[in-house]
Structure 1
């Protein structure tokens, strides 16, 4: 369910859309490259990410987008995010009332809200094609920067022994990004865009870009991104042959899937948790998850309040639930568990509804989106959903995958939106003199995608 109606102008050909396109490129460069040193992982003694320059920069971008998108002239652009996302954001704000560190949580949630709002307004104004092309060109520029860092400044572009706690990271490529897993995620998204939305590039340039991105992804050693890239490409390819006429089959398929998940939870949940809690499981992530699950068992309904588990200083609950190296971390390496321990089971359910169920339903049930666009969006959506099973970025400020997650949701929102209905027949319409004229904004294209 969307709150915003389509804007009354052709957003793809006016100055406003161009300015918002530049704002999108700038925002992505800031998130991926520009603030790399400020995104680096911090130890638990840090209260984390309170840099005034960082916050001021995003506020300036937000203000620029408000002006560029003509939001004051068309206030409904402020309602671009779907209702399910608004409800999730509202619950996060409500959670500040029981937050362990409300001042820190307030700053973090304000930044998260501003970035979500910014991304949705940009995509609403620029439209699908311009937003996707701008993102791809920006990511190709980042790829070039990453190679420059690796070749000319290897001490900064490749993980060195002196800078990492995990010796397994030594030698992995990270380019201009603060960590190899971030670089891997950026490469993965670049590949998806090149495969499903890079047809406008020269064939040789597209092929070279794909090879270069795949090689860099391999050199990052990011296993999560490597596996998810392959899986997302497969699902995106399957969407190309998906026929929405078969959507009725989704209901029994969903019931069966949920039923199997419930049976698995009843019979194997505790065994699975015990296995994952062993230190060797998933490169140590199981140990982290065990701590989070222990806390969630005791505070399952409300949690700590948004942004109040990691990086809040000595008051963090992690100190009461473990004495291991987990104390040194700033993330749970699972976005859904981090949501569970901060905003409780209600927040987790709202998260799954807003970020998984609702967008997937729109993609699978829509009759207006083209298969080409749907293939890209479902592949990006699956990547962002899957990435948060081993990394944390859901509703986390300017985390790279979080920003692309919101961009994907915004693109899904405008791509699956029903076009406005034509005006009803006027008086004397029976004479044939008042037939509605063809409207290029509302007419579907040959592949079924609205031009709005």
Structure 2
């Protein structure tokens, strides 16, 4: 019997995944984008309240469901975590440095969770049976998250807008944070939602997509998150140039990331850079991040090969209660506010090089391959924007291998998405010539109709 879609369009409807796969997609998306502890009360010390243990149990359960799907799906088994040699090397080094750390049990647990997040992101994209279905599921999920954020601002503002009585950072009073803990996190989310909105306007519903873009852009401005607000339009321009000019791709990725890190972290090591940055009217401390980078670079110099193990440096009693506290407040920092610096702290210089291969070289190569095969489409553009946003945001925020929240999960999904697009082809209806855009179908000759 023909479906409503077939009757309306006069052509076969795009394939659909099972109900279980669709529900799993939305459930996993909401797990990382909403988390299980939204709308945190910031009037109390956040360090005194930890999420209940069952929250990790739900994450493990959903991850096992994703793994079960991949294990029973021949196409997914071939595609997931590609290229496996590169990501396998990253995971091996992450686990090795955890074993060699001062807290091997804790570092191993944290490393395994980070690997689970990465694996989940890669499998999630394989659940929809077509790009049409991917866009539809993504749109519904984004509407839920964006709706919750606005619901909080309107109905529970004391849990969604920074207040003067916040235990930490009361100076942010009046800035929106939605269901997230901090305005910068909310700003980063809304920047990515802007990318989602533009994609959905082309691939699902123009009205809903543009509404998501407008609502996200407004929320982004209300967060006061300067980095995300400035970066979002820059990424749109960079992605435009990246798509159209192959010669610009390496300079944008390696040159851009290198230049930003040189101009920021470089202020600590090179007085000439600090003077130049100051002459431009820029705060050379980067809102006190320079103190953190100075401490991090000194720590890296003491243990450059293996680092200190995953998340086994910042926030530890050894650091917080050390004599260094008499000289710098940075001992109380929760991370380096730079994902590339934190990679060296956690995994040493070899870990940084491996991570650069995974996060910069592999996605760049994937995009070049799909571009050469004329396999780029709207979903490729979405993955490109998210990937570029993530690697540039990482110059000022520690987003790599994060065990919770949307940033690492979404960046991983974008990287794997680019890899899948490079290995697959767009499928067209051979009778009508209509593009169905089957998500990540095995590469085959494209029938032009």
1:194 maps to which residue? 197
Q: CA deviation at 1:167?
A: 3.6
Deviation at 1:72, TM superposition (A): 4.0
* DSSP 3-state at the match of 2:287: helix
Rounded to whole Å, the distance in 2 between the matches of 1:370 and 1:39 is: 40
Equivalent position SS for 1:348: helix
Please tell me whether residue 212 in structure 1 is matched to residue 215 in structure 2: yes
Give, in whole Å, the separation in 2 of the partners of 1:47 and 1:311: 14
Equivalence map 1:148-227=2 (5 Å): 148-227=151-230
Alignment counterpart, residue 349 of structure 1, candidates 353, 378, 396? 353
- Equivalent residues of 1:239, 1:371 under 8 A apart: no
Cα RMSD between the aligned structures? 3.9
Q: CA separation in 1, counterparts of 2:52 and 2:24?
A: 21
1:283 offset after TM fit, Å? 1.4
Residue aligning to 2:126: 124
- Listed as ranges, the matches of 1:221-370 within 5 Å are 221-242=224-245, 246=246, 270-271=270-271, 281-312=285-316, 314-316=317-319, 319=322, 321-323=324-326, 324-366=328-370, 367-368=372-373, 369-370=375-376
- What is residue 383 of structure 1 aligned with on the other side? 389
In structure 2, what is the equivalent of residue 110 of structure 1? 112
Conservation of the 8 A alpha-carbon contact between 1:340 and 1:347: yes
Over residues 173-199 of structure 1, what are the superposed CA-to-partner deviations in whole Å (9 max), with x where a residue is unaligned? Answer: 011111111111111111112113422
Question: Structure 1 stretch 143-152 or stretch 205-214: which is displaced more?
Answer: 205-214
Q: Per-residue deviation at 1:344?
A: 0.3
User: Which segment is superposed worse, 158-167 or 216-225?
Assistant: 158-167
Most deviating of 146-155 and 233-242? 233-242
Partner of 1:25: 26
2:203 touches 2:378 (CA, 8 Å); kept in 1?
no
Q: Distance in 2 between the 1:332 and 1:216 partners?
A: 27
In structure 2, the residue corresponding to 1:199 is in which secondary structure? helix
| Structure 1 residues 372 and 343: alpha-carbon distance in aligned structure 2, compared to 1, 3 A threshold | same
Tell me how far 1:62 sits from its aligned partner: 1.2
Deviations 1:250-308 (A, max 9, x none): 6799999899999999x985226766999962211122111111211222221101221
Residues 33/300 of structure 1: CA separation in 2 closer, same or farther (3 Å cut):
same
**Is the 2:200–2:206 contact (alpha carbons within 8 Å) kept by the matching residues of 1?**
no
In the aligned structure 2, how far is the partner of 1:81 from the partner of 1:15?
21
SS in 1 for 2:288: helix
User: Structure 1 pair 167/286, CA: closer, same or farther in 2 (3 Å)?
Assistant: farther
Asked if 2 retains the 8 angstrom alpha-carbon contact of 1:77 and 1:121, the reply is no
Contact 2:176–2:223, Cα closer than 8 Å, also in 1: yes
Indicate the larger mover: 219-228 or 70-79: 70-79
C-alpha displacement at 1:103, in angstroms? Answer: 1.6
Structure 1 pair 257–404 and aligned structure 2 pair: CA distance change class (3 A): closer
Deviations 1:397-420 (A, max 9, x none): 123210111110121121111569
CA spacing shift, 1:274–1:200, aligned 2, 3 Å = closer
Aligned counterparts of 2:153 and 2:258: Cα–Cα separation in 1: 48
**CA separation of 1:409 and 1:131: change in aligned 2, threshold 3 A:** farther
Distance 2:80 2:145 in 1: 28
Q: Which is worse superposed, 326-335 or 250-259? A: 250-259
* Residue in 2 that maps onto 1:141: 144
Structure 1 contact 360–378 (Cα < 8 Å) conserved: no
Q: Aligned to 1:344, what secondary structure does the other structure show?
A: helix
Distance 1:223 1:198 in 2: 26
Structure 2: runs of 5+ lacking an equivalent: 1-13, 427-440
Distance 1:347 1:299 in 2: 12
